[in-house]
């Protein structure tokens, strides 16, 4: 396949409600989209880097810069999806930028061949069970109302964002209000230290599925030490930057469960390798999210249909974040599942009017 060039497009999508985590509050999702133009088809990539480097070191302006100056020029005209990562390997880091480029090229290749992401990745399910990530709120009544609303919509698992000062009380309130049957987990986004181990053990009585990334992303041994004090299974998100990092964390007993986010690990192909490593070790995985538009959501839902994804992911419907998506929206079925797209490539395409309504700028990079 011959690559002609790549369009970088900045969009700004207003959120239906502010989304607060331990690292900040989002009201608008700024996204960098890529459109890879080849002689056979066009493909779309979505970069999950956020406006500020608060979740990881990456941020959207840096992703655009590294793509424009280094990554796109390094591709060469003749390529396929699997050739992207090796061509970019000598550039350190910038996994979210690399993932977006690989996604766009892979999408072009699969659209041209009439194959879906799901089939290409090895999906074995036609639909996937969905959870929802619930931000930090100003009060417990407000939280209970939000959780009640999501349960009424059919979400099968609730994830509460936590931080020091918003942990045991909201978890207790949600557990007591909605019962022992509900699948419930928490995500700290690195907000604690090993000195908080005894405090985090106070979450044990609430039968959480997992606690996600309590400590710093580099603190693998700290998570292993914490795992010896808390009974709730530890799941890593930020720390898992590659299949090798996943294998190391598992070997060091730093996690019992892994959150897989393709952007964080450099692409869907590396995400599949993490899935394979985890399956080989008997470690359950689930698909994380980064407030994706319908493009990234389509690919995530395909990934989540692989056999090792045995826990519901943060693969919510489009309406969780956006009143209007840039593709046909993903809508939760009554049973709390999303249908895995089966069309060529991502199986969804941006709607021209919706896309132009949120576009801030475009830039064409010739290869
Ligand atoms: O830690 O999983 C996270 C959103 C942005 C950055 C990091 C995280 C999240 C979420 C929401 O928890 C996931 C989603 O619903 O897309
Ligand atoms: Mg997380």
Indicate which residue of 98, 159, 261, 323 is catalytic. Answer: 261
Residues with CB under 6 A from ligand 1: 55, 133, 187, 189, 237, 288-291, 314, 316
- Is residue 264 within 8 Å of residue 241, measured between CB atoms? yes
Cα gap 298→25, rounded to integer Å: 25
Give me ligand 2 centre to Cα 187, in Å: 6
Question: CA 214, CA 42: separation in Å to the nearest integer?
Answer: 40
Token representation of residue 141: 């009544």
Closest-CA residue, ligand 1 atom 13, reads 289
Among 163, 286, 298, which Cα is nearest to 236's?
286
Which residue(s) pair with 130 in the sheet?
313
Give yes or no: 261 in active site: yes
Nearest CA to ligand 1 atom 1: 189
166 DSSP assignment: B
Does CATH number 3.40.50.300 belong to domain 119-339? no
The SS3 call for residue 149 is: helix
CA atoms within a 13 Å half-sphere pointing along the CA-CB vector of 171: 29
Contact 254, 230 (CB under 8 A): no
Report pLDDT digits (tens) over 259-316: 999 999 999 999 999 999 999 999 999 999 999 999 999 999 999 999 999 999 999 9
β-sheet with 131-134: strand ranges across: 131-134, 157-161, 183-187, 211-212, 234-236, 257-260, 285-287
User: In the chain, where does the domain assigned CATH 3.30.390.10 lie?
Assistant: 3-114+348-366
Is 92 in the active site?
no
Choose the residue to mutate in 16, 21, 292 for probing ligand 1, maximizing ligand atoms within 8 Å of C-beta: 21
CATH code 3.20.20.120 region(s) in the chain: 119-339
Gap between the Cα atoms of 298 and 326, Å rounded: 12
Which of 291, 293, 295 has most ligand 1 atoms within 8 Å of its beta carbon, as the pocket-test mutant?
291
Owner of token pair 């608008």: 28
List per-residue pLDDT tens for the chain, 367 residues long.
Answer: 999 999 999 999 999 999 999 999 999 999 999 999 999 999 999 999 999 999 999 999 999 999 999 999 999 889 999 999 999 999 999 999 999 999 999 999 999 999 999 999 999 999 999 999 999 999 999 999 999 999 999 999 999 999 999 999 999 999 999 999 999 999 999 999 999 999 999 999 999 999 999 999 999 999 999 999 999 999 999 999 999 999 999 999 999 999 999 999 999 999 999 999 999 999 999 999 999 999 999 999 999 999 999 999 999 999 999 999 999 999 999 999 999 999 999 999 999 999 999 999 999 999 8
3-state secondary structure of 301: helix
Q: For domain 3-114+348-366, give its CATH number from 3.40.50.1000, 3.30.390.10, 3.40.430.10, 1.10.10.10.
A: 3.30.390.10
Q: How far does residue 289's CA lie from ligand 1's centre (Å)?
A: 5
* Pocket-testing residue among 130, 189, 192, 288, ligand 1, by greatest number of atoms within 8 A of Cβ: 288
Catalytic residue among 159, 161, 202, 323: 161
Closest-lying ligand to the alpha carbon of 56? 1
- Nearest Cα neighbor of 117 from 46, 166, 216 is 46
For the stretch 66-96, pLDDT in tens is: 999 999 999 988 999 999 999 999 999 999 9
Q: Which atom of ligand 1 is nearest to the CA of 159?
A: 12
Distance CA 47, CA 290 (A): 10
Neighbours of ion ligand 2 (CB under 5 A): 187, 212, 237
DSSP string over 32-82 = EEEEEEESS-EEEEEE---SSTTSSS--HHHHHHHIIIIIHHHS-SB--HH
Q: Is 262 exposed, middle or buried (0-12, 13-18, 19+ CB in 10 A)?
A: buried
CA of 161 to the centre of ligand 1 (A): 9
Three-state SS for 127? strand
**100 C-alpha to center of ligand 1: Å?**
17
Q: For ligand 1, atom 5, name the residue with the nearest CA.
A: 290
């Amino acid at each position: 396949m011959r690559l002609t060039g790549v369009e970088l497009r900045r969009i700004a999508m207003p959120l239906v409600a502010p989304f607060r985590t331990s690292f900040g509050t989002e009201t608008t999702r700024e996204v960098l989209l890529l459109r890879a133009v080849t002689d056979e088809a066009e493909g779309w990539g979505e970069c999950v880097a956020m406006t500020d480097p608060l979740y990881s070191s990456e941020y959207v302006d840096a992703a655009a810069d590294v793509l424009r100056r280094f990554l796109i020029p390094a591709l060469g005209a003749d390529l396929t999806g699997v050739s992207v990562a090796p061509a970019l390997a000598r550039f350190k880091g910038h996994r979210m930028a690399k993932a977006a480029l690989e996604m766009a090229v892979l999408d072009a290749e699969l659209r041209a061949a009439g194959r879906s992401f799901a089939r290409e990745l090895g999906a074995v399910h036609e639909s996937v069970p969905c959870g929802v990530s619930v931000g930090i709120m100003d009060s417990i009544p407000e939280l209970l109302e939000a959780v009640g609303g999501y349960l009424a919509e059919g979400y099968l698992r609730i994830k509460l964002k936590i931080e020091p000062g918003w942990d045991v009380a909201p978890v207790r309130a949600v557990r007591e209000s909605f019962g022992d049957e509900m699948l419930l987990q928490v995500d700290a986004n690195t907000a604690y230290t090993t000195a908080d181990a005894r405090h985090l053990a106070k979450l044990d009585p609430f039968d959480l599925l997992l606690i996600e990334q309590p400590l710093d992303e580099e603190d693998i041994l700290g998570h292993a030490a914490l795992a010896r004090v808390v009974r709730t299974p530890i799941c890593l998100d930020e720390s898992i930057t590659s299949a090798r990092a996943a294998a190391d964390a598992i070997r060091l007993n730093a996690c019992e469960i892994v959150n897989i986010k393709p952007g964080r690990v450099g692409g869907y192909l590396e995400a599949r390798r993490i899935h394979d490593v985890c399956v080989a070790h008997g470690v359950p995985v689930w698909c994380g999210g980064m407030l994706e538009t319908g493009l990234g959501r389509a690919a995530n839902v395909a990934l989540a249909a692989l056999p090792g994804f045995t826990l519901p992911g943060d693969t919510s419907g489009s309406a969780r974040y956006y009143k209007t998506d840039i593709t046909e929206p993903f809508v939760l079925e009554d049973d709390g599942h999303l249908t895995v797209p089966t069309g060529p490539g991502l199986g969804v395409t941006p709607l021209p009017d919706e896309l132009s309504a949120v576009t801030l700028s475009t830039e064409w990079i010739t290869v």
